[in-house]
Amino acid sequence: MSRRRTLGTKKKIALLVSAAAVAGGGAFVMASTSNAAQSAADSNVCQGLATALGNNQKFIDGQRAAPDAQSEARIANREAVIEQIKVQQKASGCTVGESAQGSQTAPQPAQPAQPPAQSAPAEAAPAPSAPADNAGGGAAAGEQVCVGSTVTLSGEGGAPAASSNQFPVGTQLKVTNLDNNKSTTVEVTSVSGSCALLNNAAFEQVREPGKFLIRKARIEKVG
């Protein structure tokens, strides 16, 4: 005859506790993954705001180092922008006043590095292709400029516009966010510490939700 074994009350309780522990462990892993994703998103927001603040501080430093008749007004404007960015940092849970330059300004030493070009005229032909991407100001209409530059916002209001340290006021720039393929064409209306720094309205046209920095951007001079 076969005997059917029955589980005692203590063994049943032990099995139930083990099952609950396994289920609880799975929930803990899911919660940890969710928290990690949220932390990464918060980090991107804070980094973007810190970069925007750093760009404005750099612009102010430049105006103070080489002031002109409009410097005082520009500095007052940028200081107001910085205060607004600090408000956004506080609302986003970031460190208020944290500043970072990132890679906003396109490298400029590339041009001075080529004075010996006289001795080899044949080699001078390929050289313009590299500086043209960085210098920007002498680029032809429709040409991509400031390759590798990231784009952020200045915190300024008003109609869609940009500021730049590469292009004069009145230049038309097309900025494309390669992460979502959204583009905006804006006019340069002031000077900043970046190749292309978008104001709030322009940045909203190309941004990804919750992000304050465009890491993969295509900037073109269109007029």
**Residue 162 to residue 66: CA distance in whole angstroms:** 22
Higher pLDDT, 166 or 7: 166
**Residue 152 to residue 159: CA distance in whole angstroms:** 16
pLDDT one-digit tens code per residue, 154-185? 888 899 999 998 899 999 999 999 999 999 99
HSE-up (13 A, CA, CB side) for residue 125 = 2
The phi, psi pair for 34, rounded to 5°, reads -60, -45
Average pLDDT estimate for 21-48: 60
Residue 209 has pLDDT above 60, yes or no: yes
pLDDT one-digit tens code per residue, 69-111? 778 877 877 887 888 788 888 888 889 888 876 444 433 444 4
Q: Looking at 28-159, which runs of residues are DSSP E strands? A: 143-145, 151-152
Mean pLDDT of the chain: 73
Residue 27 has pLDDT above 60, yes or no: no
Query: How high is the pLDDT of residue 41?
Result: 56
Neighbours of 135 (CB within 10 A): 17
**Residue 140 to residue 171: CA distance in whole angstroms:** 11
In sequence order, the 6+-apart residues with CB closer than 8 A to the CB of 216 are 177, 178, 179
